[in-house]
Amino acid sequence: MDYYISVATFAALNVILALGLNLISGFCGQVSLGHAAFYGLGAYAAALCAVAGLPLPISLLAGTLVAGVFGALVGLAALRVRDDFLAIVTMGVGFLFLGAVRKQRWAGAEMGIANIPSPLDNWGYALLAIGAAGGLVLLSAHVRRSWMGRAFDAVAQDEEAAAAIGIDVAGYKITAFFLGTAAAGLAGGIYAHMTQLIVPDAFNFIESITILAMVVVGGLGSTGGVVAGAVLLTLIPELFRFVNDYKLLVFGGLLLLVMRFSPGGLASLVQRLRARVRA
């Protein structure tokens, strides 16, 4: 039973991570190959708060805000670059985070942080993660319906045309980065408390690619698709153990296949099938 609870919790955490990245890449059109860095930032910030004796809500909030603020800064720094250059910059941010955290004695260096206080039981974390994931689904759906979603869409499609009709492109990009990375920080905080141990490698490039694969496989911009993608890519390595050893190969390959054969991911695949059945 414990195993299933833990798988469900990880699936929920991945939903949070993927929906966060979807806000940045799917809604606002900004590529990010360093999403795991913000997951890590949230985990470290929450862990340090918890070790210092702060209660769970405070440490989770700290994780969320630290990741969000750094995310907004990266968004600010990334204003001058687009597309493939932005991909490289965000990838660099991921490596920078790992490189920095590995050298910090106060953050445990290579050994990470152990004995993180864990006030909840497994059920507690499962409910917390699923609740947060549900919250993010609602937020995503709301953003889509709101004027923020329309402005994101305009920015994603043509920045200069968006600016020409009075849309503050820079402001929207930074907002997307803030929201998306704050979500990753929250996931990191929950993760740190639940596992009671965090090490730098849990937030490496492979993790960033895994999150990206969840978003792309599910369908960039589609909230339902991304939730499905996140759950599916959490379950695949659990069902087929060997996948875990070849994660980068399998998920990277999956990314390529989806981009080649169904660029809209599962979401558009389902749509097309439905259209065909009806026809």
Number of residues assigned to the chain: 279
**Residue 225 beta carbon to other proteins: minimum distance, rounded to whole angstroms:** 16
* By CB under 8 A, residue 73 contacts other proteins: no
Contacts of 150 (CB under 8 A, 6+ apart): none
119 binds other proteins (CB under 8 A): no
Site for other proteins in 136-155 (CB under 8 A): 142-143, 145-148, 150-151, 153-154
Residue 2 interacts with other proteins (CB under 8 A)?
no
* Segment interacting with other proteins, rule: CB under 8 A, options 85-93, 117-125, 156-164, 241-249: 156-164
165 binds other proteins (CB under 8 A): yes
How many helices (H) and strands (E) would you count in the chain?
Answer: 13, 0
**198 backbone dihedrals φ, ψ, rounded to 5°:** -125, 140
Which residues, including other chains, have CB under 8 Å from residue 34's CB and lie 6 or more apart? Answer: 74, 90, 91, 92, 93, 94, 95, 97, 208
- Site for other proteins (CB under 8 A): which residue of 168, 246, 249, 263? 168
Which H helix or E strand runs over 267? helix 265-278
Q: Which of residues 126 and 174 has its CB atom nearest to other proteins in the complex?
A: 174
Q: Which of 161, 248, 249, 256 binds other proteins (CB under 8 A)?
A: 161
**Alpha carbon of residue 2 to chain centroid:** 25
Could you say whether residue 166 binds other proteins (CB under 8 A)? yes
DSSP string, 34-58: -HHHHHHHHHHHHHHHHHTT--HHH
Positions that interact with other proteins (CB under 8 A): 142-143, 145-148, 150-151, 153-154, 157-158, 160-169, 171-172, 175
